Amino acid sequence: MHSLSGLAPAIAGVLGLAFGILIGRRGRSRLVGEVCGLEDEVARLESQTRDQSRQVAKLRGEQRALSSFTRLLPSIARDLNRSDLDERQIPRLVFALADSIFEPEQKLLYLALPNGGRGEQGQVLQLVERSSNTDIPASATKITVGEGKIGWVASAKVEMLAEDWLNMTRTEGRAVEDNHPSLRLDLIGPLVHHVDGKDRLLGVLCIGNPASRPRDEKAMLQMVTNLASIAYTNSRSMRQLSDLANHDGLTALLNKRYFMGQRLGLLINAAEREAAALSVFIFDIDHFKKYNDTNGHLAGDEILKGVSQVLRENLRPCDVACRYGGEEFIVAMPGARGNEGLAAAERIRAAIESTKFPRAETQPGGRITISGGVAQFPVDGTIGNDLILHADQALYQAKAAGRNRLVQFRGVNIGDDGVNEAAVFPHADSLG
């Protein structure tokens, strides 16, 4: 009995120890669980913080881009809308605007080439401006409308983002391939001009690897392409108006006002600056009044247009032709020194004489012919009026000598019966 009573405290101690151990284990398990939960919460908070940091960085980037765009837009829009804007300046302004919004690594601008009135069938896009850290192969500088992603955008006339190509409902179930691996095509937008109820393609703008992608990036891209379209349309319209103002309506040659007021002066200044020669050739159509009286003024207009066409076909690349008035024409020949101007004028005279014009048989000799005179800068004059005056004097000498011939201001005749072509080159006396 005594021995059993002595065991009780020991058993109680063992049970207490076992209970303590059990309770300790359960506490530690609960503690471990709580620690793991805290670690998960910390990881979640850290991930949330990173997401928020990314969002803040994105918002700051968008704010920076928006601030740059807002600061740049008024001046670029003003420049793009200038009436005297040279079309060659437009890509630089468009790229500056794209940079302020997207900060891209690559920018490409393609323009639609004229297609002879056949619409967009077979129309070609020509790369006119690029900004890229990769080389663009020659095969990617010309793209047929409908070819690859760029050609598809040109044909469909809709903006496309990189992710839009994954949704083939946008492309009517067609998988569209890239044009070339070197072309980064994250954003592609068409340049379109709405005229006569139709959208006319002007070109395509491609944006690659943009560092900034605003939430309304497609609308922002559309704004850039719309401004570019307006600029190209205005520039081309102003050029057409200028051409109409500076050209003769019947012959399409330069008119007297523009030739005398600007073009000839610029050519003389260039010749003087470069110590170069310049010849001026003036001619009129022989017996033109007789042709008009015999065949009517409408037929006379056709002769004027026909002579102008032959003249254009026989000009040197640098020559400038003008309808001076009535049946009289002037050609400025930059760089034509010595007998070169006279020889070039003779080619024009001979070409007109050999052309079969309508009703030419009613003219004396049965042909349409011209008479003309040639003067040279600086020996025959240093200003436009003097050169034309002296060339005109030579013209009258050619007419007095029997027409269908040319006279150098210093008195050399060529192009008529009994005159050897070698006579072009001897020195001649001044008309005085």
Q: Is the pLDDT of residue 312 over 50?
A: yes
**Are residues 164 and 170 in contact, defined by beta-carbon separation less than 8 angstroms?**
yes
Token pair for residue 312? 């254009």
Average pLDDT over residues 417-428: 36
Q: How confident is the model at residue 7 (pLDDT cuts 50, 70, 90)?
A: low
Q: Is the pLDDT of residue 264 over 80?
A: yes
Q: Is the pLDDT of residue 215 over 70?
A: yes
The residue among 59 and 29 whose pLDDT is bigger is 29
**Are residues 184 and 143 in contact, defined by beta-carbon separation less than 8 angstroms?**
no
Q: How confident is the model at residue 122 (pLDDT cuts 50, 70, 90)?
A: confident
The predicted pLDDT at position 80 comes to 79
Average pLDDT over residues 406-418: 67
Token pair for residue 78? 């003003």
155 vs 170: CA distance, rounded Å? 13
The residue among 414 and 333 whose pLDDT is bigger is 333
Average pLDDT over residues 146-164: 95
The predicted pLDDT at position 425 comes to 31
The residue among 381 and 215 whose pLDDT is bigger is 381
Average pLDDT over residues 73-82: 78
Average pLDDT over residues 208-237: 92
365 vs 343: CA distance, rounded Å? 24
Calculate ∠ Cα 366-370-371, nearest 5°. 130
SS3 72: helix
- Considering only CA atoms, which of 174, 120, 175, 177 is closest in space to residue 150? 177
Q: Tell me which range, 27-31, 404-408, 414-418, is most confidently predicted by mean pLDDT.
A: 404-408
Residue 413: Cβ within 10 Å count: 19
Residue 85: Cβ within 10 Å count: 18
Mean of all residue pLDDT scores within the chain: 85
Percentage with pLDDT > 90 across the chain: 64
The residue among 279 and 71 whose pLDDT is bigger is 279
What structural domains and CATH numbers belong to the chain?
A: 87-238 (3.30.450.40), 254-424 (3.30.70.270)
Average pLDDT over residues 111-140: 86
The predicted pLDDT at position 226 comes to 94
User: Which tens digit of pLDDT belongs to each residue from 373-394?
Assistant: 999 999 999 999 999 999 999 9
Could you tell me the end-to-end alpha-carbon distance of the chain, in angstroms, rounded to an integer? 166
The predicted pLDDT at position 428 comes to 34
The predicted pLDDT at position 187 comes to 97
327 is catalytic: yes
The residue among 410 and 397 whose pLDDT is bigger is 397
The residue among 353 and 46 whose pLDDT is bigger is 353
Q: Is the pLDDT of residue 103 over 80?
A: yes
Q: Tell me which range, 28-32, 39-43, 175-179, is most confidently predicted by mean pLDDT.
A: 175-179
The predicted pLDDT at position 338 comes to 81
Catalytic-labelled residue, pool 159, 327, 328, 346:
327
* DSSP assignments along 203-228, one per residue: EEEEEEEES---TTHHHHHHHHHHHH
The predicted pLDDT at position 429 comes to 34
Report CA torsion sign: 122, 189, 142, 228: positive
Average pLDDT over residues 79-87: 81
Average pLDDT over residues 332-339: 92
Q: Is the pLDDT of residue 275 over 70?
A: yes
